[in-house]
Structure 1
Amino acid sequence: MNRLVLLLSALVAALAFAQPAVGRPDDARLDTLFQLLQGTRDDAVAQRAEAEIWSIWLEHPGGDVLDLMKEGVRNLHAERFEQALADFDRVVATAPDYAEGWNKRANAHYLLGHYDAAVADIRTALSLEPRHFAALAGLGLVYLALDRPDGALKAFEGALAINPHLKGVRAQAADLRTALLGDAL
């Protein structure tokens, strides 16, 4: 059980504080980068492709939105989750088409135990950017918190189908498969 708690904590930290992304699935560069991410076995190449994906997603014309995102992330780091939630509320009100605003607000909801709200925000993020592998991995964490291991496994597998280089997600999915197989016996 301690291993599971450590894995979840590490995954939450990685997902909650990842670079902000804006849902721009129409950016032509993304298709090539996602193909590269899925096709490479080289970790360095995968890391560069992932970094470029985040960079493209980060592009947003509103500096005020980015400032709110930075403040929200600072509040997440400082474990001021209510304030972070308020910051991300302002982000999604200002820029409802900004996928990462919804994803970060989902992170704040998750950390506050507002699981249904987190699921709703993740679904919005995914409607804006269906390839948002961090949102899918976050959905897996929410489903684990809701004691829905089948849903968690499906979400983790969805994230891995997009980005097979998510080692923590891969380990979590393997643990869930083992647990679910054991339950089925």
Structure 2
Amino acid sequence: MALAVLLAGGRALADQRDARLPDLFAQLLGASDIGTAQAVEARIWSLWYEHDDNAIVLLMHQARAAMARQDHGSALRSLDQVVKIAPDFAEGWNARATLYYLMGRHADSLADIERTLALEPRHFGALSGRGLVYLALEKWELALGSFEAALAVNPQMPGARLNAEAIRKTLRDREI
């Protein structure tokens, strides 16, 4: 799905400023089941991926393809260009944060996550990603706070829910 959105390109500006997002986030909060939530989530992601500059769309596609091949160097070169050319494009920062996480560059990942969240505070992917970084750093309370923040925006996120539950159990076990 994301690949199709990236390849389409040439649309009117969407990304994190799209006027359709507030309604979609309201639907996400009100979703009573995971299937409905995932359908709304997919629509949100598709808007986040959109950009009016075809060069950005192409660079994002190249970065995702390089990441799929585990060619982190090529992916990083593409994403560095994205954030340089389009510093207000939240998904560029989020994609690079994800790449940094995969590369084990946790401080860089956190910095890009914070930039993502400054542009799009509702970015449940970045909030959950921040939780994963803090998990890797064994900063349990910060990880839990991040997963809970993601769930406050997207209550049906199974990964964030499972991680939050596991951290709560770990913290309880440490108290005993």
Name the TM-score, length of structure 2 as normaliser: 0.88
Q: Which residue is 2:26 aligned to? A: 35
Q: RMSD value over aligned CA atoms? A: 1.7
**Which of 44, 48, 56 is matched with 1:53 structurally?**
44
Structure 1 portions without partners, runs of 5+: 1-16
Q: Does the 8 Å contact 1:134/1:159 carry over to 2?
A: yes
Residue aligning to 2:79: 88
2:57 to 66, 83, 94: 66
Query: Kindly, what percent of the aligned residue pairs are identical?
Result: 45
Match of 2:15?
Answer: 22
Unaligned runs of 5+ in 2: 7-13
Which of 120, 128, 131 aligns to 2:119? It is 128
One-letter code aligned to 1:110? Y
Cα deviation for residue 134 of structure 1 reads: 0.2
Q: Distance in 1 between matches of 2:82 and 2:147?
A: 26
Of 164, 167, 171, the residue aligned with 1:176 is 167
Shift of 1:164: 1.0
CA shift digits 1:137-180 (9 cap, x unpaired): 10011111111111111001111110011111111110010001
Structure number with greater CO (CA < 8 Å, separation at least 6) is: 1
Q: Distance in 1 between matches of 2:85 and 2:44?
A: 23
1:142 to 133, 158, 176: 133
**2:83 is aligned with what amino acid?**
V
Deviation (angstroms), 1:59: 2.5
Contact preservation (8 Å) 1:71, 1:87: yes
Moved more, 136-145 or 48-57: 48-57
Report the count of equivalent residues.
166
Amino acid at match of 2:15: V
Answer whether contact 1:143 1:149 (CA < 8 A) is retained: yes
- What is the CA deviation profile of residues 106-146 of structure 1, one whole-angstrom value per residue up to 9, with x for unaligned ones? 11111111111100000000000000000011001111111
CA distance in 2, matches of 1:46, 1:107: 22
Distance across 2 between alignment mates of 1:47 and 1:108: 23
CA contact (8 A) 1:23 1:125 kept: no
Instruction: State the secondary structure of the residue aligned to 1:96.
Output: coil
| Secondary structure, aligned partner of 2:15 | coil
